[in-house]
Copies of this chain bind each other. A is one copy, B any other.
Amino acid sequence: MKPRKVYFNGQYVSEQEARVSIFDSALMFGDMVFDMTRTYGQQPFRLRHHLERIYAGLRYYEIDCGMTISEMEDATLQTLALNLDALEGAEAQIMHNISRGPLGVYKSVFDGGLRPTITINCWPYWWHLAPYGPMYRNGVHAVIPAQHSVPAHLIDPKVKNRSRVYYQMANIQAQKTDPKAWALLTDDQGLVTEGTGFNFFIVRNGRVMTPPGRNILLGVSRGAVMELLENMGAPAVEQDFGLYEAVNADEAFFTATSFAIMPVTKLNGRPVGDGKPGPLTKKLIEAWSSMVGVDIVAQADEYAERVAQMEQPAALAAR
């Protein structure tokens, strides 16, 4: 692979140099606001939405990152521009990571003083997108684990933050039922919240429902899908629901930045509807492809071929 450049506190450094100190609040406390944006045709998708979410998170955690949102936007575009060559034609995952910075007591090891740590990095999307082709066609298996969501008043999931070890716990538990399962979280009242990094929708009797924006990340893809549904005359309703509604859904799907829309065709080991991606879900995938000007299913298949040619195909792990 060609070397990539990372924006790191105002400079562009190599990925190796951009590592986060173990004395940084990011690692000490999971105290970091981040975001993931992807490109379509190598253009960032709704970058401003992602940046606004970052800044809302920074206000919540009272981190003053020292850059305006426009400066951040410029830095992002420049980082992308600097890495275009290294992407070798792939779409990019653009990751922003902003922490409160090193803890004061470890100040002596930091040259530049104690200030928030800001990194922006680009990553070619070969490995992330490669496995999605068959998933788009067959759907994935959602499993509700015993691990619950953390509610907003304790650690607010509306801030995309790094204190999410419970996502890993949920993944581990769900994958005991099926090693390929995707975890679907519920709260302490059994209300569905979100997946471990993606939002959830169900369709029942033509009605589209998704959990309200309280104990979930307000996904940019979730928002875009709601716009598409509005345009398709099937507006989604934000409404609390639980296992009963989920097992009785006709269709279900996840949304997230990397895959956009992913059919859920199995829930807790039982088929959703007839066990195949539903008609509305398929229509949405098409509408999304139109909107972004990229056939996302074909792109996944193309990336799968490319990855197969590389030395070691990577397993999906970073949903």
Listed in ascending order, the chain A residues whose CB lies under 8 Å from chain B are 1, 15, 18-22, 25-32, 56, 59-62, 95, 97, 100, 103-109, 119, 121, 123, 127-128, 143-146, 148-156, 158-159, 161-169, 172-173, 176-177, 186, 188-191, 214, 240, 242-244, 247-248, 268-270, 310, 312, 314-318
Taking a contact as CB atoms under 8 Å apart, the answer to whether B95 and A22 are in contact is yes
CB distance from A224 to the nearest CB of B (A): 17
Most buried by B among A18, A127, A151, A153: A153
Taken together as a complex, chains A and B put the C-alpha atoms of A143 and B316 apart, in Å, by: 26
Residue from B95, B106, B127, B166 within 8 A of A154 (CB atoms): B166
Taking a contact as CB atoms under 8 Å apart, the answer to whether B318 and A106 are in contact is yes
Most buried by B among A30, A188, A190: A30
Taken together as a complex, chains A and B put the C-alpha atoms of A216 and B51 apart, in Å, by: 35
CB distance from A119 to the nearest CB of B (A): 7
Taking a contact as CB atoms under 8 Å apart, the answer to whether A59 and B270 are in contact is yes
Residue numbers in B under 8 Å from A151 (CB-CB) = 189-190
Given A164-B30, A169-B61, does the pair A315, B20 have CB atoms closer than 8 Å? no
Closest B residue by C-beta to A161: B165
Instruction: Sort A-B residue pairs by CB-CB distance and give the 6 closest, nearest first.
Output: A153-B190, A30-B30, A104-B317, A19-B19, A163-B163, A105-B318
Residue numbers in B under 8 Å from A167 (CB-CB) = 29
Residue from B123, B172, B214 within 8 A of A240 (CB atoms): B214
Taking a contact as CB atoms under 8 Å apart, the answer to whether B269 and A176 are in contact is yes
CB distance from A304 to the nearest CB of B (A): 13
Closest B residue by C-beta to A97: B22
